Amino acid sequence: MDEVGFAVDVLFFDGAEELDAVGPWEVLRFWADLGDRPVVVRSVSADGEAVVCSKGLRVSVDGVLGDRTPDLVVIPGGPGAEVFASDDRRIALIRSAAEGGATMASVCTGAQVLGAAGLLHGISATTHWMARKHLQLIYPDVIVSSGRRWIDSGAVVTSAGVSAGIDMALHLVDRFDSRAVAHRVCSAMEYAWHPEELSVDS
């Protein structure tokens, strides 16, 4: 817990899929405005520098991953995720956040980053449907599930691709605040969310 509230860091890196990061960021910022508990949401990168996402969106971030102890870290996918996952220094930042007690959440191929950090061992996880076979191949001890928008395995929460990250972020609002607040956020976003129709592990 940050001194002023529940601390959320949304990670950006070169080649991140825009909606993978911005979709959850939007949900979580609405939560900060509309929720029943204090929440502080930041955009971060591994070095605090601006990044260029996969479709060309340039993002200037608020801070550096690891310069505070977050309660929640959201990791997007995209073509840059595999590059990020191959960088030992950056993966050490992910591992450190998890060891510090943060809930680690991924969207799409961001699951590969969690796998590289050793955080998917023996748990259920999901990713974009086109990346499931690859995730299973490179991390054979992961229980890769299909047909899920998100999977909550406790300390790790993963979602399928792109828009599924919005559903996952709403689930996180539900988990860390309340179902009523999650629906409050949906109303503000004019977003249809039906968690009772989605299969979730807990």
Distances (CA, A) of 198 to 15, 117, 151, 157: 29, 27, 10, 14
9 three-class SS? strand
Q: Which position has the token pair 């840059």?
A: 80
The residue annotated as part of the active site, out of 108, 111, 156, 157, is 108
Annotation marks residue 186 as catalytic: no
Q: What is the DSSP string of 186-201?
A: HHHHT----GGGS---
- Give the number of residues written for the chain: 202
- 15 contacts 83 by C-beta, under 8 angstroms: yes
Catalytic residue annotation: 108
